[in-house]
């Protein structure tokens, strides 16, 4: 099968087989044609050559990346329309609709589908495909916009299903948990695709073995080509059949090596966030922050300090207040109750999950709005060089942005973000549509960024790698700090109330009854720590105040050596106090 877009060949000569019970994880670089392949399998796009053969009477369901519904159409009407489209028997429709929506977590089935959050629209789109009882389900980036509870719901659904599924995803934990077959669409492979039976970790092992074998073959071919090139330069006379054959073979090997070099050449985006030269350690102090949205309390009496180098993973259900908190930190919203103190002239850079680009704008203008160059880290860089850092070719510069893939558009937005020096990065779902190699580069860049960052993402692998602390919002006003994602996950699952789609017309739920479960016991060491930690925190804060007071002593201020030592003492005391606060949060989390 072959498909081109304009002058660009997306894939050529690939074969793709889906068998009963397969759960195929489909990955590949941005722009490699994954979405186009899915649309081809779904019959939405026709291949330029080759055929798509589907078993007779097999039903196929397709869920696109972006889930959109007609204005005014209710959740129930969406499912009814899907049942009508497959001519489901009238007597079965009510039961199938209720079962499907119940499994998807919907309570108010009369709410307008177009007004649901992105995560619940995605659930509805999956439910719309499921109610038709497909034999094959094609899911294009299904975890985008789903919260962590939604991702776990989808994992359970796929693991319990009898239908085959093909899933385009860059969520590595999701692929690890769900896939039985992995396929990478990439022009680096001779057949355009590498297919491995097993989950994501098995795929990585087999891919490593394949690349090692390819590298050995490439080395051997290079040595043979070198020998043949020397023979050709000596000007062999092609009079005999043997000489003619050798010349033809030499040219064949040279062509093979050129093709192999071209395919094996891999590129990665060059992502490097620019930090300012700020020396202040305490960047943001949140005290007594409470905020409501309509009748919902998003968080109540939140106290939190963000310091330089801190990497905060912000987690919670869709609609739980994560984006609202980012906008409060940015200063876009004013606190309803409490205060947010920011360091003087704090430079905040915000990456919005609802980011948009002008589709009619050229890539050149999207990357360099003010001319043919950009200024990055005090250096002038031509737009062509800047574009190449993000894996864009020169011939793409005059293409409209609307012709780019979702991942390529995400790279444009990151390129623009990098031009702004920051003390604090606020990242709202930066990983949507990024391919796995770019995700890995993004992870390394965030780990090396010396400023602070607050990261909202549903990519559990990224959270585990990047976060130094996790701040969990439960959607009901409660907030807790945890050492890592797994601690938050345990805390979240301790509440057995199922996650349901919020209804704008439903009354506020009654307050939960106090838990009668006994508190968890701490180890002997942890218990000793817990009994004394409040007193130690008080002592650390007193010491910190004393060190700060020393900075106001004229004798210290006028003595460069004494001033340098005093600044160092304040920083040490500050670090000690923060360590104690983090230890206290860890012990509280263990107690439950």
- What CA–CA distance (Å, rounded) separates 102 from 96? 10
State how far the alpha carbon of 272 is from the alpha carbons of 120, 334, 441, in Å: 34, 31, 9
Q: Give the CA dihedral 540, 541, 542, 547, nearest 10 degrees.
A: 90
pLDDT at 99 over 60: yes
Give residue 341's pLDDT.
92
Q: CATH number of the domain at 524-591, please?
A: 1.10.287
Q: By C-alpha distance, which of 230, 232, 221, 231 is closest to 255? A: 221
* Counts of helices then strands in the chain (DSSP H, E): 18, 19
The angle at the Cα of 488, spanning 521 to 147, to the nearest 5 degrees, equals 155
Hey, what CATH topology would domain 282-493 get?
Answer: Rossmann fold (3.40.50)
More confident residue, 510 or 301: 301
Is residue 428 within 8 A of residue 456, CB to CB? The reply is yes
CA distances from 186 to 142, 308, 557 (A): 21, 40, 62
Q: What span, in angstroms and rounded, lies between the C-alpha atoms of 439 and 168? A: 15
Which residues touch 231 (CB under 8 Å, ≥6 apart)? 246, 250
- Maximum pairwise Cα distance, the chain: 97
Q: What is the pLDDT of residues 524-556, one digit of tens each?
A: 667 777 778 877 888 887 888 888 777 677 676
Please give the structure tokens belonging to residue 206.
């087999």
Q: Which residues of 165-194 are buried (b: 16+ CB within 10 A; e: fewer)?
A: bbbbbbbbbbbbbbbbbbbbbbbbbeebbb
Q: pLDDT (tens digit, 9 = 90+) per residue, 173-218?
A: 899 999 999 999 887 787 788 899 999 888 888 888 887 777 776 6
Q: Which helix (H) or strand (E) holds 284?
A: strand 282-293
Q: Please, which pLDDT band fits residue 409 given cuts at 50, 70 and 90?
A: confident
Mean pLDDT over each residue of the chain, to the nearest integer: 79
CA proximity to 458, closest of 315, 320, 325, 319: 315
What's residue 119's pLDDT? 84
Residue whose pair of structure tokens reads 């990665």 in the numeric block: 268
What's the pLDDT at 481?
87
pLDDT at 8: 62
Burial class (CB in 10 A: 0-12, 13-18, 19+), 485: buried
pLDDT of 513 over the 50 cut: no
**Residues near 72 by Cβ (< 8 Å), separated by ≥ 6?**
112, 114
Exposure b/e, 402-429, CB count within 10 A at least 16 = b: eebbbbbbbbbbbbbbbbebbbbbbbbb
468, pLDDT greater than 80:
yes
Q: Please name which of 476, 372, 377 lies closest in space to residue 419, comparing C-alpha atoms.
A: 377
pLDDT of residue 256: 58
What are the boundaries of each domain within the chain?
A: 3-204, 282-493, 524-591
What is the pTM assigned to this prediction? Answer: 0.62
**Could you read off the pLDDT of 489-508 as tens digits, one per residue?**
777 776 534 444 444 443 33
Considering only 84-98, 201-215, 287-301, 454-468, which range has the smallest mean pLDDT?
201-215
Q: What confidence score (pLDDT) does residue 417 get? A: 78
Residue-level pLDDT at 23? 95
pLDDT at 305 over 50: yes
| Separation CA 129–CA 111 (nearest Å) | 19
Low-confidence winner among 108-122, 459-473, 505-519, 547-561 (lowest mean pLDDT): 505-519
Please determine, for residue 273, whether its predicted confidence score (pLDDT) is greater than 60. no
CATH of 3-204, one of 3.20.10.10, 3.40.50.1820, 3.30.365.10, 3.40.50.300: 3.40.50.300
The 10s digit of each residue's pLDDT in 28-82 is 887 778 888 899 888 888 887 778 888 888 899 999 988 889 999 999 999 999 9
Do 524-591 and 282-493 have the same topology in CATH? no
- At 509, the pLDDT band (50, 70, 90 cuts) reads very low
- The token pair at 497 is 């109330």
d(CA 500, CA 150): 10
Q: Give the pLDDT score at 249.
A: 64
Q: Are 433 and 30 in contact (CB under 8 A)?
A: yes
Percentage with pLDDT > 90 across the chain: 18
Residue 154 — pLDDT band, cuts 50, 70, 90? very high
Mean pLDDT, residues 356-378: 83
Grouping H, G, I as helix, E, B as strand and the rest as coil, residue 495 is coil
Distance CA(543)–CA(541), nearest Å, equals: 5
Higher pLDDT, 384 or 243: 384
Q: Which among 546, 531, 554 is positioned nearest to 577, based on CA atoms?
A: 546
What is the rounded CA–CA span in Å between residue 155 and residue 169?
A: 12
Cα–Cα distance measured from residue 166 to residue 142, given in angstroms and rounded to the nearest whole number: 11
Dump pLDDT digits (tens) for 237-268. 444 444 556 556 665 665 655 555 555 555 55
Distance CA 156, CA 177 (A): 10
Alpha-carbon separation of residue 478 from 52, 320, 347, 348 (angstroms): 51, 10, 29, 26
**pLDDT number for residue 246:** 57
Highest mean pLDDT (candidates 22-36, 158-172, 226-240, 396-410): 158-172
User: Distance of CA 437 to CAs 181, 202, 251, 268, Å?
Assistant: 20, 17, 34, 7
* Complete DSSP assignment for 45-94: S--SBS-----TT--EEEE-SS----TT-BHHHHHHHHHHHTT--HHHHH
For the sheet with 452-456, list strands across it.
348-351, 424-428, 452-456, 311-315, 469-473, 479-482
């Amino acid at each position: 099968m072959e498909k081109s877009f304009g002058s660009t060949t997306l894939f050529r000569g690939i074969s793709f087989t889906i068998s009963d019970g397969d759960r195929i994880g489909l990955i590949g670089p941005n722009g490699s044609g994954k979405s186009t392949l899915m649309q081809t399998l779904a019959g939405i796009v026709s291949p330029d050559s080759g055929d798509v053969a589907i078993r007779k009477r097999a039903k196929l369901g397709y869920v696109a990346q972006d889930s959109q519904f007609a204005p005014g159409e209710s959740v129930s009407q969406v499912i009814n329309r899907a049942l009508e489209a497959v001519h489901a028997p009238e007597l079965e429709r009510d039961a199938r609709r209720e079962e499907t929506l119940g499994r998807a977590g919907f309570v108010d089935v009369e709410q307008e589908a177009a007004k649901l959050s992105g995560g619940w629209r995605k659930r509805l789109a999956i439910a719309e495909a499921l109610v038709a009882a497909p034999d094959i389900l094609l899911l294009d980036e299904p975890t985008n916009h789903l919260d962590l509870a939604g991702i776990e719901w989808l994992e359970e659904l796929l693991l319990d299903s009898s239908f085959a599924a093909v899933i385009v995803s860059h969520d590595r934990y999701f692929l690890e948990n769900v896939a039985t077959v992995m396929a990478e669409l990439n022009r680096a492979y001779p057949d355009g695709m590498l297919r491995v039976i097993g989950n994501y970790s098995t795929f990585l092992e087999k891919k490593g073995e394949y690349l090692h074998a390819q590298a050995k073959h490439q080395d051997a071919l290079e040595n043979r080509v070198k020998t043949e090139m020397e023979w050709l330069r000596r000007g062999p006379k092609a009079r005999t059949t043997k000489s003619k054959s050798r010349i033809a073979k030499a040219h064949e090997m040279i062509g093979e090596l050129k093709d192999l070099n071209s395919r094996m050449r891999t590129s990665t985006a060059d992502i490097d966030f620019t930090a300012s030269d700020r020396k202040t350690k305490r960047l943001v102090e949140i005290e007594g922050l409470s905020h409501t949205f309509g009748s919902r309390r998003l968080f109540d009496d939140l106290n939190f300090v963000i310091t330089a180098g801190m990497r905060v993973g912000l987690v919670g259900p869709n609609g739980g207040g994560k984006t609202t908190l980012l906008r409060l930190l940015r200063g876009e919203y004013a606190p309803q109750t409490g205060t947010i103190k920011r360091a003087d002239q704090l430079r905040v850079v915000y990456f919005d999950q609802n980011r948009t680009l002008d589709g009619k704008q050229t890539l050149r203008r999207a990357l360099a709005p003010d001319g043919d160059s950009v200024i990055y880290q005090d250096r002038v860089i031509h737009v062509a060089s800047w574009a190449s850092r993000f894996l864009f070719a020169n011939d793409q510069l005059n293409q409209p942005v609307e012709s780019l893939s979702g991942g390529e558009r995400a790279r444009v937005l990151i390129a623009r973000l990098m031009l702004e020096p920051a003390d604090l990065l606020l990242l709202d779902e930066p990983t949507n549509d990024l391919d796995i190699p770019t995700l890995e580069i993004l992870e390394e860049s965030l780990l090396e960024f010396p400023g602070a960052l607050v990261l909202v993402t549903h990519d559990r692998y990224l959270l585990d790698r990047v976060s130094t602390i996790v701040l969990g919002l439960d959607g009901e006003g409660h907030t807790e700090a945890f050492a890592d994602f797994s601690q938050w996950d345990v805390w979240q699952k301790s509440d057995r109330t199922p996650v349901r789609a919020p209804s704008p017309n439903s009354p506020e739920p009654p307050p939960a009854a106090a838990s009668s479960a006994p508190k968890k016991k701490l180890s002997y060491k942890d218990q000793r720590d817990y009994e004394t930690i409040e007193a130690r925190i008080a002592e650390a804060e007193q010491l910190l105040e004393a060190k700060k007071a020393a900075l106001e002593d004229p004798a210290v201020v006028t003595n460069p050596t004494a001033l340098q030592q005093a600044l160092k003492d304040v920083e040490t005391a500050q670090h000690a106090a923060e360590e104690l606060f983090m230890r206290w949060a860890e012990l509280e989390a263990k107690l439950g």
